[in-house]
Chain A
Amino acid sequence: AQSVTQPDIHITVSEGASLELRCNYSYGATPYLFWYVQSPGQGLQLLLKYFSGDTLVQGIKGFEAEFKRSQSSFNLRKPSVHWSDAAEYFCAVSSGNTGKLIFGQGTTLQVKP
């Protein structure tokens, strides 16, 4: 069965510092991977996605993620965090044929001034 694990429930970084949010997945075939961001009381916004090809994908708001098959990981990175990046981040995997998205537990990002 598919599953997604985000090992870090809560992360605090200083504004301007770099950021890496971890995501590990379990899936038998080539996964479709996503990172979403959710502000309090809001829906989800897609940051980036990986379907195939280049394993380093660029997203919106300066985010990028790298797919590493050998490690079953899809970690999200940003070189310099802004205060507005404080939110909940979800990694998700899809099987494609059913369209179902399975979400990780989420990581809460707090940004210190």
Chain B
Amino acid sequence: GAVVSQHPSWVICKSGTSVKIECRSLDFQATTMFWYRQFPKQSLMLMATSNEGSKATYEQGVEKDKFLINHASLTLSTLTVTSAHPEDSSFYICSARDGKTGGYTGELFFGEGSRLTVL
């Protein structure tokens, strides 16, 4: 089955530093990847959509300069939280759409998530 790997699974950083989270599709080509943010006991909030080789599309209210998304290849997307602050602490989940099978149905495959704690 389609597998999406996310790394790191957890990270602790100091306020003001930047953190990069990677999302890889292991056995399929992910033409589109999505990044979600989840606060404790809450639902997933879509942050941005990234298409391979083009700029990410951010949802309203998401700071694109703070949350840098790069989708340089068909199997890798990265989310960089720049100048992180405690309020950026959250669970970040990536998901990917298989370019062959998911194009018309919207089915997504999810990574395991990355828990960011900013001190």
Interface residues of A (CB under 8 A from B): 32, 34, 36, 41-46, 49, 51, 90, 94-106, 108
Which chain A positions have C-beta within 8 A of B108? 94, 99, 101
The stretch of B62-70, B75-83, B97-105 in contact with A is B97-105
Determine the distance from Cα of A104 to Cα of B42 in the docked complex, in whole angstroms.
10
A99→B102 contact, CB < 8 A: yes
B43→A44 contact, CB < 8 A: no
B105→A96 contact, CB < 8 A: yes
B112→A32 contact, CB < 8 A: no
Task: Kindly provide the distance from the CB of B3 to the nearest chain A CB, expressed in whole angstroms.
Answer: 11
B115 within 8 A of A: yes
B112→A43 contact, CB < 8 A: yes
A100→B107 contact, CB < 8 A: no
Which chain B positions have C-beta within 8 A of A108? 41
Which chain A positions have C-beta within 8 A of B102? 99
Which chain B positions have C-beta within 8 A of A97? 104
Of B4, B109, B113, the contact of A42 (CB 8 Å cutoff): B113
A101→B115 contact, CB < 8 A: no
Determine the distance from Cα of A90 to Cα of B32 in the docked complex, in whole angstroms.
21
Task: Kindly provide the distance from the CB of B58 to the nearest chain A CB, expressed in whole angstroms.
Answer: 12
A/B interface sample: 12 pairs, CB < 8 A: A41-B115, A42-B113, A44-B93, A46-B107, A49-B107, A94-B106, A94-B107, A96-B105, A100-B49, A101-B46, A104-B43, A108-B41
Given A32-B105, A42-B112, 14 more pairs with CB closer than 8 A: A32-B107, A34-B107, A36-B110, A41-B91, A42-B113, A43-B6, A43-B111, A90-B43, A94-B106, A96-B104, A98-B49, A99-B103, A102-B46, A103-B43
